[in-house]
């Protein structure tokens, strides 16, 4: 497995270079000149302002030159400066990536926990009320658009009931914790700010639940199907015959084996959520990578678009690798890097 | 199995406890920061590169100009300058600075700061640099006197100086942090990054924190030399759309929502909230570009007149902003110099048909109508286009609507041109010249270039050129008279046809006082207080 992981890690920079090249070229072949978003339209016919902006942002150079300069800077960790926020893209990403990761990890935890629980219950009570309710819940979660479910839960839980706060990562009146990890849950704790921690946790609940609902839907259906398959196996019968308790049979013997295909889904879901949290971040004014990507695309912010693409590409590559490793750990039959039939 | 249910029950209890913790606790109103829900959309916090609606709020709170726009939104009053005068032909302006004025670090505001600020604004070649166009020299005979000389008359210069982009910067602090005002400032200046984290003005507030797309936080300037603001801390919190802003307001997370549209406002029913509708100087217009490449039918003056007559203006106001808007006669908005008693746009289908028949176009034609798919001041431009599509179909004209991203629109309007489109405008300062210079058929103006297809057809209106020169050199009542003549010329050009001036909706909690719309600054933060 070590050799396999090493090979994958060596291949990763080359794959990322491909991602960077494609992203760089695609952004530069769009129909609109990025200057249209750098300069206000009232100055677009002022040649002095246009020239000054071209020079300042390096747009007066040829495309190959821009590409080589970009790659050279990238090696030193310089992702360029955002046309839109006017700050280094690396700084923007450092501030926003933890926000997205915090949201996605919370969503994954909630989604996986509820998904597995619902899947197990649905399989255990197959065809009954619980099964039907679980499937309905999963169906809604997998198919309801976030812009609808997000606004709905905000309206119900924040506006009408007043149980949970509205958009944002922390109460707007509170001061954000000093940046240590960028995870507000951790940083408020490190700062000993319990009020802030409570605010952060409560602000996290609604967006994480909405985002996690999608995962719940997918995971519960996968767990249910796998559990039904596993529960019909002879070794389950054998376990029951040995006198194992129903809970032990369900959780220890059946669920562990049913988790194998589910792990793949969870791994892919994680990478998908990182790049796909766009709508949730927009609805909940969550300053993460997703909302950054949307704003960058709308504003023809080339450095930011390429920066986000690199992060997205890296997330998929790492998630794939971790899924493969997890697969091997959970199922000893899987030998990473072994040739087929060997 | 019981184990599972026990675990589930514990989890449910934990969730319920968390929910209970979420009940918003009342805070001491006077001590808490005031929160404004708004879509930030900030392009910069550098006063000489910034150019956006939120920038106006920010700059007017943290910097002060030599003069400021009064609450009547028309006249100017002293700010850093206690008095000022202009020579007879409006080419030389002299200002006396208030000796009490100090920056937020306690250092006095001096003439050298004014000179440095105006020179940087001009030389940086940023979006607001046009405000210093024509300035040839800035003299500082003593620490408290500034003389600005212009190459040609500019009767609007005092009005321009009330714009937040001309706020005076502490030159020593800014220079020591990379800012440059020299002739080479466009390439030599490195101050923007510093300005994104710091302010260097004399305004009632200072910048506390700025996180793009997240929050803009102000702290009261404890060295402010004027009347101290009532609110010690103000946060403009990112909220992208009207519905989210309304929800923040209703839930108590925000005290003011700035971009609530009429439809959303109607859904807000709370005794704790005040919803005010006020007229604005912002407007949405349609444009004709006879020089655009995509024209299948020449959009000459009669055709443009016919199309303008076919528009149901009141219907468009009802459709887009639920009737909460006003008609506007010319590209110079209602209430600006020269707009009194102008003829309002008229819907006249018979006249429209007659004009088309005179050009043998009674059977109609198709016009490309590319439009930015954005919602601005509560008006969805693509939806407005659909309304116009219905209107024009009555004279057999078909609009081929193509919604595009705003940046793409800005590229296409210049080249290859867009025959028929819709766009918006908000004032940069109180004065009519900006509209003539942008919308008028002056050689090289933005709309002359776009509408003519970069000079393919001749649209220049020499009368507007001459009248503008006279207006910029005039004073007193002559100013309004001359701009009125220009406005009539611009109406007759039929290149820019205003459709709706949407009202602004000010939505805020009842305990907040001092909420008002300002033509230069959107929302003057220093006037806010808690009752």
pLDDT 10s digits, A159-189:
888 899 988 999 989 999 999 999 999 999 9
Residues composing chain B: 531
pLDDT surpassing 90 at residue B223: yes
| pLDDT at residue number A170 | 93
Cα A37 to Cα A103, A298, B95, B131, B411: the distances in Å are: 30, 9, 36, 20, 10
Which chain A residues are Cβ-neighbours of B215 within 8 angstroms? 172
Architecture of domain A94-286: Orthogonal Bundle (1.10)
The size of the A-B interface in CB pairs under 8 A is 168
- Secondary structure of residue A101 in the 3-state scheme: helix
| pLDDT at residue number A134 | 85
- Secondary structure of residue B321 in the 3-state scheme: helix
In this complex, the residue of B129, B244, B407 whose CB is nearest that of residue A300 is B407
pLDDT surpassing 70 at residue B28: no
Q: Tell me how far apart the alpha carbons of residues B279 and B107 are, in angstroms, rounded to a whole number.
A: 40
Angle formed by the axes of helices B301-309 and B349-358, nearest 10°: 160
Which residues have CB under 8 Å from B231's CB, separation 6+?
A: B33, B34, B220, B525, B528, B529, B530
The pLDDT of B312-325, averaged and rounded, is 94
Token pair recorded at residue A258: 């049913």
Which residues have CB under 8 Å from B198's CB, separation 6+?
A: B177, B207
pLDDT per residue over A276-318, tens digit each? Answer: 688 889 888 899 988 898 889 888 899 999 999 998 888 788 8
Q: Tell me how far apart the alpha carbons of residues A310 and A303 are, in angstroms, rounded to a whole number.
A: 11
| Residue whose C-alpha is closest to residue A291's, from B422, B39, B82, B474 | B39
| pLDDT at residue number A128 | 86
Which segments of chain B belong to CATH 3.10.105.10? 283-502
Higher pLDDT: A136 or B166? It is B166
Which chain B residues are Cβ-neighbours of A59 within 8 angstroms? none
In this complex, the residue of A42, A172, A247 whose CB is nearest that of residue B35 is A172
The pLDDT of B269-295, averaged and rounded, is 93
Task: For the beta carbon of residue B124, count every other beta carbon within 10 angstroms.
Answer: 27
Task: For the beta carbon of residue B481, count every other beta carbon within 10 angstroms.
Answer: 15
Mean pLDDT of chain B: 91
Q: Tell me how far apart the alpha carbons of residues B170 and B179 are, in angstroms, rounded to a whole number.
A: 11
**Where are chain A's structural domains?**
94-286
Which residues have CB under 8 Å from B374's CB, separation 6+?
A: B380, B381, B406
Confidence of residue B18 (pLDDT cuts 50, 70, 90): very low
pLDDT per residue over B337-367, tens digit each? Answer: 999 999 999 999 999 999 999 999 999 999 9
The answer to whether A205 contacts B18, with C-beta atoms less than 8 Å apart, is yes
Q: Return the H-helix or E-strand segment holding A260.
A: helix A256-276
| pLDDT at residue number A263 | 80
Which residues 401-430 in chain B show a CB within 8 A of chain A? 405-408, 410-411, 414
Rounded to 5°, angle at Cα A198 from A197 and A202? 115
Placement of tokens 């002293």 in the chain: B78
| pLDDT at residue number B25 | 38
Rounded to 5°, angle at Cα B41 from B158 and A158? 125
Placement of tokens 């709370």 in the chain: B270
| pLDDT at residue number A124 | 83
Does B130 reach chain A within 8 Å, measured CB to CB?
yes
| pLDDT at residue number B464 | 97
Token pair recorded at residue B340: 């009194």
| Residues with pLDDT less than 70, chain A | 31, 275-276, 332-342
Mutate to test the interface with A, among B214, B258, B416, B447 (most CBs of A within 10 A): B214
User: The domain B63-184: what is its CATH number?
Assistant: 3.90.76.10
The answer to whether A43 contacts B130, with C-beta atoms less than 8 Å apart, is yes
pLDDT surpassing 50 at residue B381: yes
Which chain A residues are Cβ-neighbours of B235 within 8 angstroms? 172-173
For B468-524, give the DSSP string: HHHHHH--THHHHHHHHHHHHHHHHHTSEEEEEEEPEEEEEETTEE----BTTTBS-
| pLDDT at residue number A337 | 61
Task: For the beta carbon of residue A130, count every other beta carbon within 10 angstroms.
Answer: 14
For chain A, how many helices (H) and strands (E)? 15, 0
| pLDDT at residue number A235 | 83
| Residue whose C-alpha is closest to residue B431's, from B154, B133, B152 | B154
Confidence of residue B458 (pLDDT cuts 50, 70, 90): very high
Q: Which CATH number fits domain B34-39+204-279+504-530: 3.40.190.10, 2.70.98.10, 1.10.340.30, 3.40.710.10?
A: 3.40.190.10
Which segments of chain B belong to CATH 3.40.190.10? 34-39+204-279+504-530
Question: In the CATH scheme, what is the homologous superfamily, with its name and number, of domain B283-502?
Answer: Dipeptide-binding Protein; Domain 3 (3.10.105.10)
Mutate to test the interface with A, among B34, B244, B372, B429 (most CBs of A within 10 A): B244
What is the β-pairing status of strands B420-425 and B135-142? unpaired
Which segments of chain B belong to CATH 3.90.76.10? 63-184
Q: What is the ipTM of this complex?
A: 0.80
The pLDDT of B30-45, averaged and rounded, is 89
Q: For the whole model, what pTM was predicted?
A: 0.86
Q: What is the 3-state secondary structure (H, E, C) of A190-219?
A: HCCCHHHHHHHHHHHHHHHHHHHHHHHHHH
Instruction: Check whether the bond before B416 is cis (ω within 30° of 0).
Output: yes
The pLDDT of B89-111, averaged and rounded, is 97
| pLDDT at residue number B17 | 41
Does B1 reach chain A within 8 Å, measured CB to CB?
yes
Q: Is residue A108 within 8 Å of A212, Cβ to Cβ?
A: yes
Higher pLDDT: A294 or B170? It is B170
The Cα of A3 is separated from the nearest Cα of chain B by a number of Å equal to 41
Cα A268 to Cα A265, A324, A325: the distances in Å are: 5, 11, 13
Token pair recorded at residue A101: 């990761």
Question: What's A174's DSSP letter?
Answer: S
């Amino acid at each position: 497995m070590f050799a396999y992981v090493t090979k994958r890690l060596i291949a990763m920079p080359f794959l990322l270079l491909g991602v960077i090249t494609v992203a760089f070229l695609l952004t530069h072949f769009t129909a609109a000149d990025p200057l249209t978003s750098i300069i206000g339209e009232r100055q677009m016919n002022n040649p002095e302002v246009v020239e000054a902006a071209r020079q300042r942002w390096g747009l007066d150079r040829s495309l190959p030159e821009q590409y080589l300069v970009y790659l050279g800077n990238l090696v030193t960790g310089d992702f360029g400066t955002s046309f839109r926020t006017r700050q280094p893209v690396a700084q923007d990403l450092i501030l926003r990536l933890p926000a997205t990761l915090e949201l996605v990890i919370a969503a994954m935890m909630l989604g996986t926990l509820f998904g597995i629980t619902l899947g197990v219950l649905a399989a255990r009570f197959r065809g009954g009320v619980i099964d039907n309710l679980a499937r309905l819940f999963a169906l809604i979660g997998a198919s309801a658009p976030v812009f609808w479910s997000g606004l709905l839960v905000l309206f119900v839980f924040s506006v009408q009931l007043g149980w949970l706060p509205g958009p944002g990562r922390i109460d707007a009146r509170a001061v954000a914790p000093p940046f240590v990890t960028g995870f507000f849950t951790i940083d408020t704790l490190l700062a000993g700010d319990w009020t802030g921690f409570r605010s952060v946790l409560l602000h996290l609940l609604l967006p994480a639940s909405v985002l996690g609902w999608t995962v719940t839907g997918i995971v519960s259906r996968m767990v249910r199907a796998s559990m039904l398959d596993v529960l019909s196996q002879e070794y389950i019968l054998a376990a029951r015959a040995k006198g194992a308790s129903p809970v032990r049979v369900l959780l220890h013997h059946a669920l562990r084996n049913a988790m194998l295909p589910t792990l793949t889904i969870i791994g892919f879901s994680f990478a998908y959520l990182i790049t796909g949290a766009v709508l949730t971040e927009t609805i909940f004014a969550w300053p993460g990578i997703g909302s950054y990507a949307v704003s960058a695309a709308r504003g023809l912010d080339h450095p930011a678009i390429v920066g986000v693409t690199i992060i997205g590409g890296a997330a998929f590559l790492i998630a794939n690798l971790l899924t493969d490793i997890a697969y091997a750990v959970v199922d000893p039959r899987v030998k990473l890097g072994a040739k087929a039939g060997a | 199995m019981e184990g599972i249910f026990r675990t589930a029950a514990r989890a449910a209890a934990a969730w319920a406890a968390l929910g209970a913790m979420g009940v918003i606790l009342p805070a001491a109103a006077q001590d808490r920061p005031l929160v404004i829900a708004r879509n930030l959309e900030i392009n910069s916090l550098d006063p000489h590169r910034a150019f956006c609606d939120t920038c106006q709020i920010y700059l007017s709170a943290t910097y002060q100009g030599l003069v400021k726009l009064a609450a009547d939104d028309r006249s100017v009053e002293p700010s850093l300058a206690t008095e000022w005068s202009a020579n007879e032909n409006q080419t030389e302006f002299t200002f006396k600075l208030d000796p009490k004025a100090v920056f937020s670090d306690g250092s006095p505001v001096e003439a050298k700061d004014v000179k440095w600020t105006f020179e940087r604004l001009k030389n940086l070649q940023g979006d607001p640099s046009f405000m210093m166009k024509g300035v040839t020299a800035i003299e500082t005979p003593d620490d408290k006197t500034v003389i600005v000389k212009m190459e040609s008359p500019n009767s609007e210069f005092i009005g321009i100086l009330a714009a937040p982009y001309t706020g005076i910067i502490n030159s020593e602090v800014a220079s020591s942090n990379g800012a440059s005002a020299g002739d080479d400032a466009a390439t030599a200046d490195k101050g923007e990054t510093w300005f994104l984290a710091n302010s260097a003005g004399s305004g009632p507030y200072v910048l506390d924190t700025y996180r793009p797309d997240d929050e803009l936080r102000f702290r009261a300037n404890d060295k402010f030399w004027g009347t101290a603001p009532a609110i010690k801390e103000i946060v403009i919190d990112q909220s992208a759309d009207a519905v989210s802003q309304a929800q923040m307001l209703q839930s108590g997370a925000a005290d003011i929502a700035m971009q609530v549209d009429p439809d959303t406002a109607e859904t807000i029913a709370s005794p704790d909230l005040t919803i005010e509708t006020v007229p604005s100087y912002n407007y949405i217009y349609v444009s004709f570009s006879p020089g655009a490449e995509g024209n299948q039918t020449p959009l000459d003056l009669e055709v443009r007149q016919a199309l303008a007559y076919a528009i149901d203006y009141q219907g468009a106001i009802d459709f887009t902003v639920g009737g909460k808007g006003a008609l506007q006669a010319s590209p110079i908005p209602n209430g600006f110099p020269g707009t009194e008693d102008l003829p309002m746009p008229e819907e006249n289908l018979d006249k429209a048909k007659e004009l088309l028949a005179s050009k043998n176009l009674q059977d109609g034609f198709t016009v490309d109508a590319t439009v930015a798919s954005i919602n601005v001041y509560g008006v969805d431009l693509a939806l407005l286009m659909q309304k116009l599509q219905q209107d024009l179909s009555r004279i057999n004209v078909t609009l081929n609507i193509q919604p595009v991203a705003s940046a793409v629109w800005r590229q296409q309007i210049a080249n290859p041109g867009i025959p028929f489109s819709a766009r918006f405008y908000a004032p940069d300062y109180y004065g009519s010249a900006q509209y003539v210079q942008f919308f008028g058929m002056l050689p090289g103006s933005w709309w002359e270039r776009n509408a003519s297809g970069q000079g393919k057809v001749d649209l220049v209106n020499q009368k507007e050129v001459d009248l503008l020169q006279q207006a910029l050199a005039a004073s007193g009542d002559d100013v309004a008279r001359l701009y009125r003549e220009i406005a009539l010329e611009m109406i007759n050009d039929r290149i820019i046809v205003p459709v709706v001036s949407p009202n602004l909706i000010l939505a805020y909690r009842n305990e907040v006082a001092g909420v008002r719309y300002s033509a230069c600054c959107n929302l003057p933060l220093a006037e806010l207080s808690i009752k």
